[in-house]
Amino acid sequence: MGAGIGGLALAAALREAGVPCLVFEQSHRLAEVGAGLQLAPNAVRPLHRLGLGPALDTHAVRIEAMEFKRRTGRTVARTELGLACELLFGAPYYSVQRAHLHEALRGLNDPDALRLGHRLVHTEELDDRVRLLFADGTTHEADVVVGADGIHSVVREALIADRRVFSGLGVWRGLVPVARLSLAVREPRVRLWMGPGGHVVCYPVAAGELISFAATHSLVAPLAESWSATADPARLRGGFAGWDEAVEELFHAADHVRQWALHDREPLHRWATGRLTVLGDAAHPMLPFLAQGANQAIEDAMDLAACLARSRPETVPAALRLYQSLRAPRTTAIQRMSRDNAAALHLPEGPAQRERDDALHRSAALRNRAWLYAYETGMARKTRTEPSATVQSAAGSHGTARRGPTGD
């Protein structure tokens, strides 16, 4: 199923529930790439239940507030987080370096259950099992297959023949040591600058030692889609010249920048066959404009683990149908809101932009995030656990403005 954040979260949740699981991953070594991500309370609560509290306290940053700004630096809305978030939603709002979260999730899993160097090329569903065919010619059979194999998912192909959708946008990402920045830029806040044709998000990660940034811009044609594609920092600086001085300071301090195009897919209407399903980006790849990609993968993992923990081999198809009913409406709504926010964040000067800013200001209160942050996953509901089918994995590759766009 792939050993990314969603796949490892599922494996950890299944292990806690006593469900045997193997994780097949196409890479020959596990080394998560990428910059930072935001973890909202809807994902932090289940991560705490899995035992990641100490790791998050060590490596993540508790965010005190989220600020929405014009490109000039004028603040149009601010959502207080910090202690208020913990009191209202039972968990903090974190920012974390992706590699640190990935490493912590790996630590929850049995190393012997991770099978590296297995690139899935085909799935064949039989009456009571699924056969996996890997690129090296080997096969494996499983009671259940869960594809956590990303936006290029091979497992998804068993459900639908669809294509990725290019958003017309690209993103520059990078990490900057805080020692190179002024004190104001280091504060534990998520800051988002909105401007015609682009927007910028930044926040601290790595226990506050680094600032992660993402700068989104328009693209005429898609770039090669790779998390390891490097870019010239001078192009980033030129693309956002004249923005708030904090943005220019951040970009001038960046030595290494990565750039890629942003894609998603249309919402998936069928998540499962009898013994095969998907989660995370394989199920609902979404643009990063609600900062919910990793959060929704973690929710998927917990809900699916709860469904499978209550199942027996003969009831697996019903468990997968239940999983779809729990997840599809919510993730479809979040996918669509993320798309809508791409336009809202980049509005030109004028009445529509002012209307957006007014809506953000009116909805900035933290309680308005309850629809997103208060969601409880199945593992929190703790229903009775019964002996279950063995779960195997398939190899993988590695809203609107009033809802509060945040970006990854």
pLDDT bracket for residue 226 (50, 70, 90):
low
C-beta atoms surrounding 241 within 10 Å: 10
Task: Return the percentage of the chain with pLDDT > 70, whole number.
Answer: 91
Q: Of the listed 93, 203, 323, 373, which one is catalytic?
A: 203
Helix (H) or strand (E) holding 6: helix 5-16
Neighbours of 258 (CB within 10 A): 18
Given a contact cutoff of 8 angstroms between Cβ atoms, the answer to whether 150 and 5 are in contact is: no
Place of tokens 């682009």: 198
Q: Would you state the pLDDT for residue 35? A: 86
**pLDDT grade for 389, boundaries at 50, 70 and 90:** very low
93 among known catalytic residues: no
Mean pLDDT calculated for residue range 177-194: 94
For 1-10, the pLDDT digits (tens) are 688 999 999 9
Full-model pTM: 0.92
Least confident of 121-135, 186-200, 227-241, 303-317: 227-241
CATH number given to 5-62+92-161+268-345+386-403: 3.50.50.60
The residue-averaged pLDDT of 287-299 equals: 97
Q: How would DSSP label each residue in 380-405?
A: HH---------EEE-------GGG--
Q: In the chain, where are the structural domains located?
A: 5-62+92-161+268-345+386-403
Residue (of 362, 373, 370, 224) closest to 295 by Cα position: 373
| Alpha helical stretches, state H, 227-315 | 233-239, 245-252, 293-309
List the single range of 49-53, 280-284, 398-402 with lowest mean pLDDT.
398-402
pLDDT bucket at 225, cuts 50 / 70 / 90: low
Indicate if the pLDDT at residue 247 is higher than 70: yes
